[in-house]
Structure 1
Amino acid sequence: MTPVIAVTGASGAIGGRVARRLAEKGMATRLVGRDPGRLPELVGAVKAPGAAFGDGGAMRAALDGAEGMLMVSAHESPGRVQEHITAVDAAVAAGVRRIVYVSFLGAAPDAAFTFARDHWHTEQYIRGTGLAYTFLRDSLYLSGLAAMAGPDGVIRGPAGDGRVSGVAHDDIADVATAVLMEEGHDGLAYDVTGPVALTLADVAAELSRVTGREITYLPETREEAFASRAGYGAEEWEVTGWVSSYEAIAAGEMATVADTVPRLTGHPAQSFAAYLAAHPRAYRHLMP
């Protein structure tokens, strides 16, 4: 019998891509999400009953029969680590033997980027379960780099002259698919990055090139960054996450360039320029 792979977040940007790739390769999958109605229709895929990470009983039922699990991290929230713990416990109870967890570059208990700390705590918990595991520590998404520029054409943040090795969703999905389908990845953590690390001035220059308007990078202090985001009405923990992502760039925590994408997929990692050429919607908010 073909082992079943559970794919969480299967209606999302990463989980959906991985689910489609596994289906194309003839793998048996169990698609997991909050709303089964949003899950894709794929050959060889079974849609699990709706389940959120924080609902242990529902997650256990959703994962029943799966041997492996792609665990796409939950949306940022103050309780995200506990949600992850509940989902991992459900996986253990359901008999899952292996977890491939989508983590973050530079995950550490004292990471400048506060959300990266969540990933470290989740990794540590998974390590303690006795399950086989692989961690995919992704850099910032290339789509996120494009979104850093506001409609006024300015990227604002306390990133200094630091660099970020942004990565495409497609490359992450290709790596995850390879890891899920192959042996030899247990107990490893892979940095998943783009081919180069860019300053935010470089990001602005690329956006200027494709939009035909001047896009600029304005370095801020931490205080200025909080002030410029005060009008969004977001909670303090969320604003802190936004601001600290720039601070992590300044600290060099996102500058790592790894060969994981070409080594595991056989193709080069997508550059920011290539991403923008293929995804004009990513910078639509900057167009007249």
Structure 2
Amino acid sequence: MTRTLTVTGSTGEVGGRVARALAADGVAPRLIVRDASRAPELPGSDVRVAEYADHDAAVAALRGTDVLFMVSAGESEDRVEQHRCFIDAAVRANVEQIVYTSFAAASDDATFTLGRDHWATEEILRESGLSFTLLRDSFYLDMFELFAGQDRVIRGPAGDGQVAAVARADVARVAVAVLQDAVTHRNITYTLTGPQSLTLEEIAATLTEVRGEPFRYLDETLAEAHESRAVYGAPDWQVAAWISTYTSIASGVLAAVTDDVERVTGTAPMTLEQLLRTGA
């Protein structure tokens, strides 16, 4: 029996990789997007338009879905309520299972403030009655070069804390494997990390070696972190989230390395050097 796999976030990095990989394997995914003009053109794909917060549109878009890949919504103050609305729509649409991109250190009091949103969403899923698979991703390995900015300095109060960051490509590979054999992975939580636990100083050193340009890590105090980010004029909740990226690394909760990527996919996750050299 053909099962309908529905993918959200296909206009983004992780969802896009998942959608393209499914299509390459001969699976025609249903894509739920906010803007149909931005949806990737994939053989046989069924594009539906809905937002997480639009309950009726989401129910219509989800109807007939067996397994849903739910990429967390963009950072916002009401993200949990958006997730609640979409999960309720999935219940109404008789979706069987949701595969959700969560956070490695999700908890109700997570140091990384957005990790609390992920915990709240996990709780909504647990209470929904739906089957689910939680992909608890560490921070994305791809992002640290972007954190450096044009001056090639990574700034933040992470101290000598370590992070076992994971490549987005590896998260996508896990998601594809789970979606294609969803029953096997039903009601299981995976913590997805890279193969190394690195300090930001070590990350900067690897960037320097591979890029041939000097990168460095500047350990900030909390006051300095607030001051260096004031120029962006972002709301307080967002600044707190940015800074807590670093304080969560400092806390040590993201240092553990797991073998979940390799257990699910059969292939070890990429190191930072491999990611930078291959551009995967």
What range is the shorter-chain TM-score in?
Answer: over 0.9
Match of 2:171 in 1: 172
Q: Give the Cα separation in 2 of the matches to 1:271 and 1:260.
A: 15
Deviates more, 1:60-69 or 1:145-154: 145-154
**Alpha-carbon offset, residue 260 of structure 1:** 1.1
Match of 1:155 in 2: 154
Deviations 1:225-283 (A, max 9, x none): 11111101111111100000100000012112110111111111011001111229xxx
**Alpha-carbon offset, residue 96 of structure 1:** 0.4
Match of 1:83 in 2: 82
Q: Give the Cα separation in 2 of the matches to 1:64 and 1:39.
A: 19
Task: Tell me if 1:200 matches 2:211.
Answer: no
Alignment map for 1:1-288 (pairs within 5 Å): 1-48=1-48, 50-182=49-181, 183-279=183-279
The aligned amino acid for 1:265 is: T
Match of 1:286 in 2: none
CA contact (8 A) 1:71 1:101 kept: yes
**Helix, strand or coil at the partner of 1:203:** helix
Q: Give the Cα separation in 2 of the matches to 1:23 and 1:212.
A: 37
CA contact (8 A) 2:157 2:247 kept: yes
Match of 1:283 in 2: none
The aligned amino acid for 1:255 is: A
Deviations 1:131-169 (A, max 9, x none): 000000011111111112122221110001001111111
CA contact (8 A) 1:2 1:27 kept: no
| Identity, % of aligned positions | 49
Deviations 1:52-105 (A, max 9, x none): 111111111111111110000001100000000000001111110100000011
The aligned amino acid for 1:258 is: T
**Alpha-carbon offset, residue 190 of structure 1:** 0.4
**Helix, strand or coil at the partner of 2:128:** coil
CA contact (8 A) 1:26 1:44 kept: no
> Aligned residues, how many?
279
Q: Give the Cα separation in 1 of the matches to 2:71 and 2:52.
A: 10
CA contact (8 A) 1:107 1:119 kept: yes
The aligned amino acid for 1:53 is: Y
Q: Give the Cα separation in 2 of the matches to 1:15 and 1:169.
A: 10
Q: Give the Cα separation in 2 of the matches to 1:175 and 1:152.
A: 34
**Alpha-carbon offset, residue 44 of structure 1:** 3.1
**Helix, strand or coil at the partner of 1:128:** helix
Q: Give the Cα separation in 2 of the matches to 1:64 and 1:191.
A: 30
CA contact (8 A) 1:3 1:28 kept: no
Q: Give the Cα separation in 2 of the matches to 1:172 and 1:73.
A: 13
**Alpha-carbon offset, residue 117 of structure 1:** 0.5
Deviates more, 1:19-28 or 1:261-270: 19-28
Deviations 1:159-207 (A, max 9, x none): 0100111111111111001111113211111001111111000011011
CA contact (8 A) 1:210 1:276 kept: yes
The aligned amino acid for 1:257 is: V
**RMSD of the alignment, in Å?**
1.2
Deviations 1:24-75 (A, max 9, x none): 2222421011011111121232111x21111111111111111110000001
CA contact (8 A) 1:175 1:261 kept: yes
**Helix, strand or coil at the partner of 1:109:** coil
CA contact (8 A) 2:141 2:165 kept: yes
